[in-house]
Amino acid sequence: MLIRPRRIRNTESLRKMVRETRVDKSSLIYPLFVKEGTHIEEEILSMPGQFRYSVDRLPYKLEALADAGVPSVMLFGIPDEKDACGSQAYAQDGIVQRALREAKKQCPELYYVTDVCMCEYTSHGHCGVLKGDYVDNDETLKLLAAAALSQVQAGADMVAPSDMMDGRIRAIRECLDKNGYVNTPVMSYAVKYASAYYGPFREAAGSAPAFGDRKSYQMDFHNVREAVKEALLDVEEGADILMVKPAMAYGDVIRAVKEATNLPMAAYSVSGEYAMIKAAGKMNYIDEARVICETAAAAYRAGADIYLTYFAQELAQYMDEGRIG
């Protein structure tokens, strides 16, 4: 035989030389939950190994991430008080705003992304203000823009709206520009599906809707052409980075959006993905480390340039060990 594909698989060094998908630590973002109170480092039951941190405990985790080589975090806030309009999302002394000020002071070398949504802050758990039982899209845009602005004023390096309201990228972009933050990028959750994979996150952030579901604004998981449409709209509205969420079961969507646009592509490996791997690893049904690496490589192979994952610290270690890279 003249053609033998196995020739280039004979040694580890050769396999790495011809590797098609390459990843490094600079692409990792670690999602972090911050809550009110002091001296709190509270494990999330459905996400073993993940914690809710009070502002005073947050720097210890940030330092560990920085030491591991994880360059960026995304902050999610858990307020003590919630109301119908989610006012703590855009309060100057809100939990994320206070966390940002402390984080920038204690660990300025990290890059801080903030989730912009209302679900953690509203008493009803939906991602916007209600008109009856329906989320009022256009009224919500004003609050999302206010939340993004307050986070940037508190020190956010990038904002990431996850609400899936129509027109929110334009609303946030225009608000930031008007207030002088023309160089602050927006990473859009452009393609966010109404997914069962979010279950543990809703426990972690206390953000489950009090009634109904989010299918009137998050996407139907059967659709991919709609994902491309959503992404192209966000490009027109001024998004700087696009995201597909979840990651594990949506490689085809990541690829479709990547091919249809020219912006950097992020993929969010969500709480359910993390919980499944941890549960199977605990039962010794899988080699946890190898599955973490393989799952991450699948997202990058599909087209992700940025990977948001609760396994970011482990992946940084595995890159050092040469298990993935």
Are 91 and 123 spatial neighbours (Cβ–Cβ below 8 Å)?
A: no
H/E segment holding residue 73: strand 72-78
Is the CB of residue 95 less than 8 Å from the CB of residue 36?
yes
Alpha carbon distance 260, 227 (integer Å): 10
Residues 215 and 217: their CA atoms lie apart, in Å, by 5
Which residues are CB-neighbours of 30 under 8 A, at least 6 positions away?
65, 70, 72, 73, 74, 308, 309, 310, 312, 313
Is residue 192 annotated as a catalytic residue, yes or no?
A: yes
Question: Residues 35, 82, 192, 278: which is the catalytic one?
Answer: 192
Active-site option among 245, 258, 278, 282:
245
Rounded to whole angstroms, how far apart are CA atoms 48 and 126? 26
Whether 258 is catalytic is no
Residue with token string 């070398």: 109
Contact 10, 39 (CB under 8 A): no
99's CB contacts (< 8 A; 6+ apart) are 34, 55, 58, 75, 77
Question: Catalytic site residues?
Answer: 192, 245
